[in-house]
Structure 1
Amino acid sequence: MCAPFASNLSRLQDMAEAEEDSNSWAYLPDHIIVKVFSFLNLQDKFQASFVCKTWNDCFHYPILWSDFVFIIQDESENQASRHRKCLEMHGAHLKHVLMKVDQSKPLCRKVACDILNGVADLPDKTLSSIKIDFTGENPFFYAGAEFVQSLKKLFGSNPENLKISAHSLVNVDLSGMPVAFDDEVLNLLSQNHPLLESLNILNKVLVCKVSSECILNLVKKCRKLKKLFVFHCSMSDDTLVALAEDHRMPLDELGISCRREEKYGVDLSSEAWQQLMTKLPSLKVMLSFDHTCPLHRVSQIMKPEIPVHVLNLQTFTMIYEEVNQAASFYRNTLEVAVLQTRNSPELGRALVNLARHCSHLHTLIVYCVLKKEVVDEILSLRPKMKKDGTYILKWKPQAEPWYVGIEEGD
């Protein structure tokens, strides 16, 4: 083989190898790899990071750690170690955090609290949103005291060390934690996080320990609040008036849940509601009643001045009079109604009345078996509801669970 030909062949081989290398996974642009990683869970991202140095570098991009889900479901030491390592390396990048914790397992509770304490100790944290969901069964007599202490630390038990401008929480959702929060927890939140925009404490704890004075204090300090979900016993006329004050962000949503505490509770006055509505005509209110709320209090708390968009009447009792009341009071606002009740001819007529008069009603969930003619009439009055499948209206007994949008007799 002549020298020039051999030289050219070698050059072609080098070019082919270079082209092959340039088409390999390692040569994908970083932003594409990061985008792919964003769809993977932590374990899959971790495994993918071993492919090459480029992928490992992408694994540590801060953007991949701004929205993070801590799933703490088993008592494996490997899981605990991974979560602690993630916090150590990327805690400063965490911005929106969701924690799913099996609180029935001691190690899971410990790991979850360690994470909360670790985030609280970060000198340059950027956390703005936190949501915590318990997924297991509470141990007997469990009050979640260790989580209360961790939340106090997270919210700023040492305010002198808290840089409000950089660290203020914006969204806090504790509705998934059946834990008895006290005033101190929320006072720390309002004191140290004045930029708060959303708070939900509607959990399944048996007794609410948050006072109306505490919520009033929070509303006065957190003037950017847009969404607030609390128990009725924690509300007061003064709080409604405070929400109507000038020089604060208008509240978009207010969720109020009524339970056993209403036996000795005080109603929110029509005058306070009217003052709030004059200031905030676009406010949407979710009003809920569970089976522990004394039945006679339901009709007392429901007032025509309240702009109820979502109504939950999950009382397990005869509530047709309250349904008729809702049709009269909330005909211009009601969009969603959920009922857990018992069937009767009066209930059927009340539901038809609700469908006829509430022109904005788009979702109706009824957890009892109705008459077929009642179901047919409701769906004929609300054809869009039938088209969208945003209802549960059964006329045949069926095994639960019942799913929204499945045909009424199927």
Structure 2
Amino acid sequence: SQRGEMKRVKGDEDACSSSSEGPTESCKKVRKLQPSKEKHQEEEEETDVDLCEFGFDWALLPQEILLNIFQFLPLLDRAYASQVCRGWNQAFHMPELWRCFEFELNQPASSYLKATHPELIKQIIKRHSNHLQYVSFKVDSSTESAEAACDILSQLVNCSLKTLGLISTARPSFMELPKSHFISALTVVFVNSKSLSSLKIDDTPVDDPSLKVLVANNSDTLRMLKMSSCPHVSPAGILCVADQCHGLRELALNYHLLSDELLLALSSEKHVHLEHLRIDVVSENPGQHFHTIRKSSWDAMLRHSPKFNLVMYFFLYEDEFGPFFREEVPITHLYFGRSVSKDVLGRVGVHCPRLVELVVCANGLRPLDEELIRIAKRCTQLSAIGLGECEVSCSAFVEFVKMCGRRLSQLSIMEEVLIPDHKYNLDEIHWEVSKHLGRVWFPDMMPTW
């Protein structure tokens, strides 16, 4: 029987020693409370009792209890515990402990982070590849780390992954690999899993043919796809995903993949309602041209998924905003990572009535008083705003807060943004703003070092 095969700790004295034959922790003294002999005495005396004296053997803990304990231990502690005895080693390899795993692949010369030990990776591939379900790869900026990730992926022929994430912690090292090498490794997972629900492959050389393989094997299960900064994917490639993966709930991609056809495909009757659509609008070269999405396409999307969040990140130069915010767009979360003009922010106030969150990194030296007031009037769901290198008069800012009221759950304004005027100075404004918010508020201050 399994119990008979387990290695027992040798004797009470050996088990309590610090030798490598048994865990020193197994014989730690425990506190046992014993009532005093005196009848009315409520104090208790503490005595140390050796569990080994009562024949207690930690090696004989039931596996279900060991599993519960091991699930709370970091991987390194589990590895140490697995050396105690055969039973604990068997518990270390229980499938339930290997369903979720994060491979950390870092090169000592380019990263200070610890990497997953190569021997552990071999053991996982040999014994647990068919147990893995939720897997992520964190790689540093080195090409060697990206190659190591691809090598592991290509060996997961017995896997049935539900989630997969490829994460570059620094520069996108997966883009340094030959495309054919990366695609070959990734399609191994696409073909063998057949139940992928979540896929994060930002900043990778994934292409249209590999997406077709993904759809052919996982169209019924795919719920989340994040693939921003994937230059080898065309609008036709992402349209193939939208046409076939009717259960998509969350989608993240670059603006060049967004099209009227894609929005209409996501709005078809057979498509499950999308919950989150994130679009990154990034300028690679100054003066880059951007296409326009028709209002009718956005309207179709909104009719089909009336509660979906449209998140847009803009990293454009000021003269590149021409095609945007000319007609109504159902944006809910809007972030400007570069300087944006007063004109563009004015158009936001007119054409983004669903806006919930707005972050402006920089604007220039012209006050945004009128633009903020317009946003407060039109964007009746706005609950979070952040302003960086901008200018707003104190009076206009107070009026903005007064119009939005207590629904402003997040208000992050740098102190340098607020310009004192005839009504308020910086010492007075926090009292007035706090009154309208219903909570204590102060502007953010630039840290001093």
- TM-score normalized by the length of structure 1: 0.77
1:154 aligned residue: 189
Shift in CA distance, 339/126, structure 1 to aligned 2, threshold 3 Å: same
Determine which of 296, 300, 303 is the counterpart of 2:323: 300
Separation in 1 of the partners of 2:116 and 2:166?
A: 22
1:346 aligned residue: 367
1:243 maps onto 2:244 in alignment: no
Deviation at 1:299, TM superposition (A): 5.0
Summarize the alignment of residues 272-351 of structure 1 with structure 2, pairs less than 5 Å apart.
Answer: 272-291=297-316, 295-298=318-321, 300-302=323-325, 304-314=327-337, 316-331=338-353, 333-351=354-372
Deviation at 1:250, TM superposition (A): 1.5
Shift in CA distance, 305/139, structure 1 to aligned 2, threshold 3 Å: closer
Q: How large is the RMSD of aligned CA atoms in angstroms?
A: 3.3
C-alpha contact (below 8 Å) 1:104/1:136 kept by paired residues: no
Separation in 2 of the partners of 1:181 and 1:17?
A: 58
Partner deviation per Cα, 1:290-326 (whole Å, 9 max, x = no partner):
13xx545535233654321111222x22322222222
Separation in 1 of the partners of 2:73 and 2:115?
A: 22
Deviation at 1:129, TM superposition (A): 0.6
Partner deviation per Cα, 1:346-369 (whole Å, 9 max, x = no partner):
335424543454332233233325
2:104 aligned residue: 71
Deviation at 1:380, TM superposition (A): 5.5
2:35 aligned residue: none
SS of match in other structure, 2:117: helix
Separation in 2 of the partners of 1:154 and 1:140?
A: 16
Separation in 2 of the partners of 1:138 and 1:249?
A: 32
Q: Which has the higher contact order (CA 8 A, sep 6+)?
A: 1
Determine which of 132, 147, 153 is the counterpart of 1:94: 132
SS of match in other structure, 1:346: coil
Give the share of equivalent positions with the same residue, in percent.
23
Shift in CA distance, 77/268, structure 1 to aligned 2, threshold 3 Å: closer
C-alpha contact (below 8 Å) 1:285/1:307 kept by paired residues: yes
Separation in 2 of the partners of 1:371 and 1:320?
A: 12
Shift in CA distance, 18/153, structure 1 to aligned 2, threshold 3 Å: closer
Determine which of 65, 74, 80 is the counterpart of 2:118: 80
Structure 2 residue ranges without an equivalent (≥5): 1-49, 109-113, 418-440
Deviation at 1:199, TM superposition (A): 0.6
Separation in 2 of the partners of 1:65 and 1:406?
A: 47
2:201 aligned residue: 174
Determine which of 165, 170, 190 is the counterpart of 1:131: 165
2:80 aligned residue: 47
Structure index of larger Rg: 2
Partner deviation per Cα, 1:199-258 (whole Å, 9 max, x = no partner):
11113x6xx232111111111111111111112211221221111111221211112222
Deviation at 1:194, TM superposition (A): 0.7
Deviation at 1:90, TM superposition (A): 1.0
Structure 1 residue identity aligned to 2:444: E
Deviates more, 1:221-230 or 1:343-352: 343-352
Deviates more, 1:81-90 or 1:132-141: 132-141
Separation in 1 of the partners of 2:393 and 2:75?
A: 49
SS of match in other structure, 1:360: coil
1:359 aligned residue: 380
Separation in 1 of the partners of 2:99 and 2:175?
A: 36
- TM-score normalized by the length of structure 2: 0.71
1:188 aligned residue: 213
C-alpha contact (below 8 Å) 1:335/1:363 kept by paired residues: yes
Partner deviation per Cα, 1:14-65 (whole Å, 9 max, x = no partner):
xx9777344x644655444333432333222211222344432322222221
Deviation at 1:372, TM superposition (A): 7.3
Deviation at 1:277, TM superposition (A): 1.7
C-alpha contact (below 8 Å) 2:175/2:205 kept by paired residues: no
2:431 aligned residue: none
Structure 1 residue ranges without an equivalent (≥5): 1-15, 157-161, 398-404
Deviation at 1:407, TM superposition (A): 5.2
C-alpha contact (below 8 Å) 1:319/1:347 kept by paired residues: no
Structure 2 residue identity aligned to 1:128: K
Deviation at 1:337, TM superposition (A): 1.7
Q: Normalized per residue, which structure has more helix?
A: 1
Structure 2 residue identity aligned to 1:152: T
Structure 2 residue identity aligned to 1:279: H
SS of match in other structure, 1:343: coil
Separation in 2 of the partners of 1:78 and 1:241?
A: 44
* Paired positions, count: 365
